[in-house]
Structure 1
């Protein structure tokens, strides 16, 4: 036998002896994909809202529920990455630490501060009080344990669902542009950047949208969209919990995919942030006003623009992510980062400073102005704020010098314990040729682009898609470029760690990128502190609920009219209890029901955006619930009714549920 024939025979024999791969082994080199959703809606009445820093803006009902949406991708080697988008103003370190603790108890080391990212959509219409840092709990008069628990437990449920649903699948990516959904609300600082930076953003806006398409078994199960625009379509005058424009975009896409309230989770669509620090959805007057004078309509307009463009990209996504799944994370003390010259505009080494807020922070932004004490960009010292800051929050002279040209109002990082976090979480997730860098701040578009470019330079050519996702895992204000910082507009005054905050983020995330590229570990020299002593509240809770004389809980005060046309709004008022008695997570305060013979079918709940639930304290322990339902254009003609669910607290502290039902009404064609 010739050598060639002998080699061929031996090869055949070897192949016959090798085990045949099973179906499970055949997909082991691919991805497994899971998506999930969890209700994180906080207390719906008499709790300070987070975003506009106005103590008078307290919750008084629901325009929409708040949700956490989770996306998990795993490879055949057992490596996982998880991304969560939560409809809150920002993530706090207390939330991150508690979520990690609970997931560790369930899944051991599967999810950690290396590979699990928690981000926020940055809605300004949700309740606050879920931080252990004093600054972030001022408008809620302290820590709100029920809100903290709602957010943590909802995020965990979302991750649980995504993990349980892991199955062979694919992740595809598409990139495009969306115009008309944001404006630059801080043009003067933007224009202070070099021409090369400005040229990357025609019109001074970031129009880039990135969409990930998640599939299992060839069927689409999830969408994750990234686009920079603030969650400020709902104004500081609003008192209803709302997921704002990104929440409405999620609602449109999920409903369009058949994932209505009854099938929640069958398709999950999240609209996450990138660098939205100077990007506003309020298209008029430089970010001061929305497209119309109706904040609800503005929310729908900006949400629909994002939803429509994301669906176009989603439907056209063909590039599949393939290859390595990996992650790196590290905690960094940003109060004193030594920044190398390669990351600074003047080519010299500098350092960051302990956290501080400038006097112009009190001016607020264009879409959320503060009291008329100072104006953005005013570099003169305001004696009133100087004295108030010294009394409330004294700042050492060396910190004031380090923060220059910022005129410090509050030295938030100089207190013991600090009023705002100093030890910040940084992460990079990689899914094949796509990488997400994450950081706990609101980056302006130029600052974010510099950070993104620094990460891309380290990761190299096999990663071809890059994002920076802000509002991740914690929160420490804004991040401006040094050039923007010098003008001390609102964003610069709220850049906590001084003039070189953005270069420090670029440097530290570039280090993570290099470690990920080289397969090196990234141990943390510091860890964020736990501050359980700050979990206190001076806000009185619910004392007692009482119905008015001659009525009972659930009684209908205002009945619907006899009939309504499509597009009209049905209203019904009920005697109710305080909604904080029971947040009704994964449940509802209301149902709109249609009669089917002798049965009633629920067609809408407070999870839908056609409904509103408004709570009002009439006097003492007497309160009413006003329920509205805007009849959809495709509503089936027939007989309907509205059901209200509530809970009342007795003098003994016992909480009992109740329900009330209106008379019937008809919907006409």
Structure 2
């Protein structure tokens, strides 16, 4: 009997059938994961870290009501102002011109094994131990009579999830009544890519986390709560000083081609394609004794690359470690009264890997529009830090940041004075009308992830050899998506142009919504200083435009010369925010 042979077309059909079967099985497995496979039975044997005893005086958080999502996400609401606190508070000092200040720090490390690391979205990058502990650092600032107060919390995690924020707010309300609310409490992630995942409720991030971990979620919530409680307990009269200056040698733009698409006249106003400015708040008591600092600087904490398996706080965490060890002499790391937070800003296109991208197989540069190598493609194009390895690079970049903060801290002399205020608003980002000019408007739509998303960055490439800067879809991947998830609507494809849609997440709702539609934006002011809390990663130029827009708005209300800082990764995660020009090519 003659041997049966297959034509090229038949072979391709068989291959495609096998591929679709494999993808279907994988997605069904992931669907099972999203139902809560990492719920962590008490006897499961997961390796976890135990929080050390508090060294600043704290009480155990009371109660726990898990919140799945915002209770009022049916539509945006009016901006929430600051009501008079209903919880009785001790009379604060009234005969001084400064503020009432409290600082606190608490461990929020959580699991250090058997959990994925959050940031790179790399399958198999699971925690296998610990390099540094992770901390939540809280700062409470109140007017002398206690009528208004604001809270800023910098947390050494990838980003703040909506589920995490809502649970913290619920517990704060249970403990303090209306004293701490969604309008006057900012939660900001440092954006380390080496912290545990598993604390999200939206499907996209649950898949990236390889499930939800109630154990990690509780560690994070408890750590954040404890840091706020410590700050609340330790409040004392003090003063705040502000300073700013440029940091050199710590960052590069990892999307320089996209940056060049911004108008030449706009680029000419700046000396660099990254935001080099560090802004710092110095806090002291009335005797001039140090209390703490908050520093904002635009840099990705990705000195530790996606081959890392140790939980750690990366370069910004190392800067905090150095500053706190300097001020808390004689204390172990994570202990002592002084608290130094190095918070995130408009870091979307900023890398600490200052040697830039090169092909690891040939050594040639791959600093091109697609970040790809002639041999091996994008997976060979990786940016390197200044050190001998990622551990050394983390220390070098962290020390540069620390040294600049130390300089600014020592010379800070401009006092921040004036009333405190806070505001918060839910915004339905799928239905915002934007005036393009005096006669034309544009409208936002539901979220979607493009091909460039799957490509990753020069700091951590994607798993399937997608290419950055892709502006045309691929029939093979589009067909697989359509068969498994359904086709994206014409409306979302038209709205998202020129980005080719890989995953139309805004139109997917099983088993849960894949992306947030309604996000919260927030601003708090201390006299002439404003913190704009944003739920995502602004690029260098989009952050600059955002700051200027806020300053112009303040000026129309008779408040010119406001100092504005963009505080990133706050309250909920919405990926990257670019300029219109950058979006056309990225």
User: TM above 0.5, one fold?
Assistant: yes
Which residue of the partner structure matches residue 154 of structure 1? 223
CA contact (8 A) 2:134 2:156 kept: yes
CA distance in 2, matches of 1:263, 1:470: 24
**1:242 aligned to 2:242?**
no
SS in 1 for 2:505: coil
Q: Following superposition of structure 1 onto structure 2, how do residues 200-599 of structure 1 map, counting pairs within 5 Å?
A: 200-217=269-286, 218-258=288-328, 260-261=331-332, 264-286=335-357, 288-341=383-436, 348-394=440-486, 395-416=488-509, 417-460=512-555, 461-462=559-560, 464-488=562-586
SS in 2 for 1:459: helix
CA contact (8 A) 1:117 1:472 kept: yes
Q: Can you give the 5+ residue segments of structure 1 that lack an aligned partner in the other structure?
A: 1-21, 489-669
After superposition, what is the alpha-carbon deviation per residue over 1:602-643, rounded to whole angstroms, capped at 9, x for unaligned? Answer: xxxxxxxxxxxxxxxxxxxxxxxxxxxxxxxxxxxxxxxxxx
Which residue of the partner structure matches residue 86 of structure 2? none
CA distance in 2, matches of 1:88, 1:159: 16
CA contact (8 A) 2:93 2:237 kept: no
**1:109 aligned to 2:207?**
no
SS in 2 for 1:204: coil
Task: Give the Å deviation of 1:23.
Answer: 9.7
Identify the range of structure 1 (381-390 vs 421-430) with the bigger mean alpha-carbon deviation: 381-390
Q: 1:295 to 1:80 in 2, by over 3 A?
A: same
After superposition, what is the alpha-carbon deviation per residue over 1:248-296, rounded to whole angstroms, capped at 9, x for unaligned? Answer: 0000000011263277141000100110000000011247111134110
CA distance in 2, matches of 1:79, 1:254: 28
Aligned residues: 463
SS in 2 for 1:473: coil
CA contact (8 A) 1:374 1:382 kept: no
CA distance in 2, matches of 1:298, 1:200: 31
Which entry has the higher C-alpha Rg, 1 or 2? 1
CA distance in 1, matches of 2:92, 2:393: 50
Q: 1:290 to 1:175 in 2, by over 3 A?
A: same
Q: 1:482 to 1:323 in 2, by over 3 A?
A: same
After superposition, what is the alpha-carbon deviation per residue over 1:290-336, rounded to whole angstroms, capped at 9, x for unaligned? Answer: 11341100110110000010010011111111011001110101112
Task: Give the Å deviation of 1:464.
Answer: 2.7
SS in 1 for 2:422: strand
Which residue of the partner structure matches residue 65 of structure 1? 133
**1:136 aligned to 2:227?**
no
CA distance in 2, matches of 1:322, 1:73: 12
Task: Give the Å deviation of 1:203.
Answer: 3.0
Q: 1:252 to 1:396 in 2, by over 3 A?
A: same
Task: Give the Å deviation of 1:140.
Answer: 3.2
CA contact (8 A) 2:473 2:501 kept: no
After superposition, what is the alpha-carbon deviation per residue over 1:353-399, rounded to whole angstroms, capped at 9, x for unaligned? Answer: 10100012111111111135331122222123212332444322211
After superposition, what is the alpha-carbon deviation per residue over 1:200-254, rounded to whole angstroms, capped at 9, x for unaligned? Answer: 4323111000010011232111011110000100010000001000000000000
- Segments of 4+ moved more than 3 angstroms: 22-25, 391-394
Task: Give the Å deviation of 1:422.
Answer: 1.4
CA distance in 1, matches of 2:561, 2:169: 28
SS in 2 for 1:413: helix
After superposition, what is the alpha-carbon deviation per residue over 1:477-532, rounded to whole angstroms, capped at 9, x for unaligned? Answer: 001111100102xxxxxxxxxxxxxxxxxxxxxxxxxxxxxxxxxxxxxxxxxxxx
Q: CA RMSD in A?
A: 1.7
CA distance in 2, matches of 1:240, 1:380: 37
CA contact (8 A) 2:425 2:522 kept: yes
Greater relative contact order (CA < 8 Å, ≥ 6 in sequence): 2
SS in 2 for 1:271: strand
CA distance in 1, matches of 2:163, 2:481: 26
Q: 1:243 to 1:198 in 2, by over 3 A?
A: same
CA distance in 2, matches of 1:390, 1:414: 13
Q: 1:398 to 1:318 in 2, by over 3 A?
A: same
SS in 1 for 2:248: coil
Normalising by structure 1, we get a TM-score of: 0.67
**1:168 aligned to 2:261?**
no
Q: 1:333 to 1:392 in 2, by over 3 A?
A: farther
CA distance in 2, matches of 1:34, 1:235: 35
After superposition, what is the alpha-carbon deviation per residue over 1:531-557, rounded to whole angstroms, capped at 9, x for unaligned? Answer: xxxxxxxxxxxxxxxxxxxxxxxxxxx
SS in 2 for 1:304: helix
More strand by share: 1
Task: Give the Å deviation of 1:46.
Answer: 1.6
Which residue of the partner structure matches residue 114 of structure 2? 46
CA distance in 1, matches of 2:439, 2:242: 37
Q: 1:393 to 1:333 in 2, by over 3 A?
A: farther
Q: What is the aligned counterpart of 1:89 among 130, 135, 158?
A: 158
Task: Give the Å deviation of 1:75.
Answer: 0.1
Which residue of the partner structure matches residue 31 of structure 2? none
Which residue of the partner structure matches residue 557 of structure 1? none
